[in-house]
Amino acid sequence: MSIAIYPGSFDPVTFGHLDVIKRSSTMFEEVVVGILSNNAKHPLFTVEERKDMLEKAVSDIPNVSVITFDGLLIDYMKAHDISVIVRGLRAITDFDYELQIAQSNRKVSCDTIDTVFLTTSIEYAYLSSSIVREYASYGTDVTDFVPKHVAQMLKNKFNN
């Protein structure tokens, strides 16, 4: 079975993430979206909120599921027999960090885990969760960046 995991913070999920999820869902039998729950970045949304918004956003893709994990990604993967990580690459600025994580995950997993990179579609190359949070905090319409239900959750969060 070819199962891949697409891990991230998803705080919140954006159209850039959804683009990677949709494209990877055509490449693997199953794609598991893994939300890191013990995130040192102090996320805006709770892990339950992020899971809820992601589940709604991928509800029309039958081979995609959403889970939360804490601790090491490779430990979750070993426990669930998953050997491929999917990550999106937006620009060269992502590359150093992603290469470092991919190579260390491969080393620590004794070469049992590989990372597959999808280059982000050009229309989402500038997009990030932090940019969305910043605009939304000032009450700017973010429906070009995130699904409508996520934009509403941002409005509720920032009371705007």
Binding footprint of ligand PNS on the chain (CB under 6 A): 7-9, 36, 72-73, 101, 105
> Is 106 known to be catalytic?
no
Catalytic residue among 9, 17, 24, 109: 17
- Integer Cα distance of 46 and 11 in angstroms: 9
Chain position carrying tokens 């070009």: 144
Distance of closest approach, residue 72 Cβ to ligand PNS, in angstroms = 4
Instruction: Answer yes or no: 51 catalytic.
Output: no
- Please give, one letter per residue, the 3-state secondary structure of 43-74: CCCCHHHHHHHHHHHCCCCCCEEEEEECCCHH
**What is the SS3 assignment for 19?**
helix
Catalytic residue among 50, 51, 87, 90: 90
Residue nearest to ligand PNS (CB): 8
Q: Which of 41, 80, 107, 148 is catalytic?
A: 41
- Is residue 50 flagged as an active site residue? no
Q: Which active-site residues does the annotation give?
A: 17, 41, 90, 129
